[in-house]
């Protein structure tokens, strides 16, 4: 790894002129911040609109032959306002007109969605005096819209080796024929990670509007402690269970070379933030790292005497959910029973159909159904072979009056998943947090 920092700035960090000024100050404070990845402008206030949402709306209207001028005017005003506010020597109006004509001419949804980052990249490169590099020439997708990882890594290494400072818009790349392809929403995080991997950066900074991860949701727990260091695996577990801040797929590119990610706050750049590190390089403190969770899961329990002696029983159960296009979250089991846990949104009224198919294929004694479960993940490398962690979790819930309906723990011992009633969700998270906040 070389002493290069890749810095990605989110939509809230580049929402208006004043935010651009903050971003420039941050970049210029460290000469090693060489490759900058901007998102599209985000919301300036609660009633504002994200530019990407407006561009998708324009595409939707154009697809149905409807006039989208009123929506596009809002997009134009945002960009021209930032340009004028920063006194940029950039004719952004020509770019805006060209994009508008492309949308009218039937441009793809991915093309439309990507233009927010593209335009912000043009403005930021002009403001910083950095070279502008279009990611369609760096990030390659195949004909099925899948990232070509090896080719992309090679392209980045070749095209950036002689580029000292550059702005590279996030969120999109292209197929070999030039068709634009976007990542899923929040995908600028992924772009930053891909660029960091391609240039073998020392550090990937992800600048947003919060000072890293917190041990628990601040909407539930008052002033939760920040997480100073977290491993890739811990982050995956917490992100899966609903902890926000970073696109979960952004871990994979940098993980290849063990490049750390630093989540930082554009509005409070002096804050330490959260450092995301390689799984093998961090020694745990012997406690938990964080708590996260989600509500609204369905539990389908299939009971059958001597189930454990029937070959293929589990495969039959799983196949029923697979053919109904329902992802399974967890499968806790007993000698004569299996419980399948799925998201309520995935079920979407399919229970009677699934019940009938389970009855036909598995011939169970009983099938029961409960759509009122929440799942909480207590995550931390410190849980591995540390005595008393689990007891502390369950004691805290017991004292708070929370009824535990399910417990599962992976073989890695990285987390404990606990099933509770939806109505106990906040109480459970708060009680566990308080049990560990002073560790």
109-128 vs 17-28: helix crossing angle, rounded to 10: 60
User: Backbone phi, then psi, for 404, in 5-degree steps?
Assistant: -90, 125
What is the rounded CA–CA span in Å between residue 307 and residue 285? Answer: 42
Q: To 5 degrees, how large is the angle CA 312–CA 316–CA 320?
A: 170
Q: Which of 249, 330, 243 is nearest to 291 (CA)?
A: 243
Q: Which of 306, 210, 188 is nearest to 263 (CA)?
A: 210
What is the rounded CA–CA span in Å between residue 24 and residue 341? Answer: 47
134, 37 contact by CB (below 8 A): no
Three-class SS state of 73: helix
- Local mean pLDDT, 10-residue blocks, the chain (439 residues): 91 97 98 98 94 98 97 98 96 97 97 98 98 97 94 96 97 96 90 96 95 90 92 82 73 89 96 89 73 93 89 92 93 89 89 94 92 91 77 94 87 81 96 90
What is the rounded CA–CA span in Å between residue 244 and residue 190? Answer: 15
38, 117 contact by CB (below 8 A): yes
Tokens of 214: 């917190």
Tokens of 431: 């009680």
| DSSP H/E element including 428 | helix 425-436
Kindly list the structural domains of the chain, giving each domain's residue range(s) and its CATH number in brackets, ordered by start.
Answer: 12-200+233-254 (3.40.1160.10), 290-436 (3.30.2130.10)
Distance of CA 5 to the CA centre of its chain: 21
Q: Which of 295, 355, 349, 277 is nearest to 320 (CA)?
A: 355
Q: Residue 325: left (phi > 0), alpha (psi -120 to 50), or beta?
A: left
Longest C-alpha distance within the chain, in Å?
76
Q: Which of 182, 278, 314, 290 is nearest to 237 (CA)?
A: 290
Q: Establish how many alpha carbons lie within 13 A of residue 248's alpha carbon, considering only the half-sphere containing its beta carbon.
A: 12
What is the rounded CA–CA span in Å between residue 129 and residue 269? Answer: 22
What is the rounded CA–CA span in Å between residue 279 and residue 235? Answer: 10
What is the rounded CA–CA span in Å between residue 146 and residue 160? Answer: 23
Q: Which of 334, 340, 327, 329 is nearest to 376 (CA)?
A: 329
Q: Which of 14, 7, 9 is nearest to 86 (CA)?
A: 14
Instruction: Provide the sign of the torsion angle of the four alpha carbons 363, 364, 367, 373, taken in this order.
Output: negative
Distances 89 to 34, 75, 127 between C-alpha atoms, Å: 22, 19, 9
Q: What confidence score (pLDDT) does residue 315 get?
A: 93
Q: Residue 131: left (phi > 0), alpha (psi -120 to 50), or beta?
A: beta
């Amino acid at each position: 790894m070389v002493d290069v920092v890749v810095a990605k700035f989110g939509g809230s960090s580049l929402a208006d002129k004043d935010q651009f000024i903050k971003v420039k100050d941050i970049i210029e404070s460290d000469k090693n911040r060489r490759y900058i990845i901007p998102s599209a402008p985000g919301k300036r206030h609660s009633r504002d609109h994200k530019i990407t949402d407006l561009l998708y709306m324009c595409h939707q209207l154009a697809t149905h032959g409807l006039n989208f001028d009123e929506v596009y005017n809002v997009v134009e005003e945002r960009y021209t306002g930032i340009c004028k506010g920063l006194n940029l020597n950039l004719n952004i109006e020509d770019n805006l007109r060209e994009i508008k004509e492309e949308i009218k001419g039937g441009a793809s949804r991915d093309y439309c969605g990507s233009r927010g980052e593209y335009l912000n990249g043009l403005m930021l490169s002009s403001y910083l005096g950095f070279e502008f590099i279009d990611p369609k020439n760096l990030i390659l997708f195949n004909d099925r819209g899948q990232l070509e990882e090896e080719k992309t890594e090679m392209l980045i290494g070749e095209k950036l080796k002689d580029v000292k400072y550059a702005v590279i818009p996030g969120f999109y790349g292209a197929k070999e024929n030039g068709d634009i392809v976007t990542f899923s929403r929040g995908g600028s995080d992924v772009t930053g990670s891909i660029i960091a991997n391609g240039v073998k950066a020392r550090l990937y900074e992800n600048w947003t509007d919060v000072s890293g991860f917190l041990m628990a949701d601040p909407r539930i727990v008052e002033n939760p402690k920040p997480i100073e260091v977290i491993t890739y695996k811990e982050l995956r577990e917490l992100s899966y269970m609903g902890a926000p801040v970073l696109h979960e797929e952004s871990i994979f590119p940098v993980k290849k070379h063990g490049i750390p990610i630093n989540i930082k706050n554009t509005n409070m750049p002096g804050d330490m933030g959260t450092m995301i590190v390689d799984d093998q390089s961090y020694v745990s403190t012997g406690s938990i790292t964080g708590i996260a969770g989600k509500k609204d899961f369905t539990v389908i329990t299939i009971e059958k005497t001597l189930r454990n002696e029937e070959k293929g029983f589990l495969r039959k159960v799983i196949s029923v959910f697979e053919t109904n296009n329902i992802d399974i979250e967890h499968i806790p089991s007993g000698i004569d029973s299996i419980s399948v846990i799925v998201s309520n949104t995935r079920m979407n009224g399919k229970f009677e159909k699934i019940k009938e198919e389970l009855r036909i294929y598995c011939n169970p004694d009983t099938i029961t159904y409960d759509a009122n479960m929440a799942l909480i993940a207590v995550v931390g490398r410190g849980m591995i072979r540390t005595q008393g962690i689990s007891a502390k979790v369950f004691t805290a819930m017991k004292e708070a009056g929370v009824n535990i309906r399910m417990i599962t723990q992976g073989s890695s011992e990285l987390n404990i998943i606990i099933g509770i009633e939806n109505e106990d969700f906040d109480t459970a998270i708060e009680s566990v947090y308080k049990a560990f906040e002073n560790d």
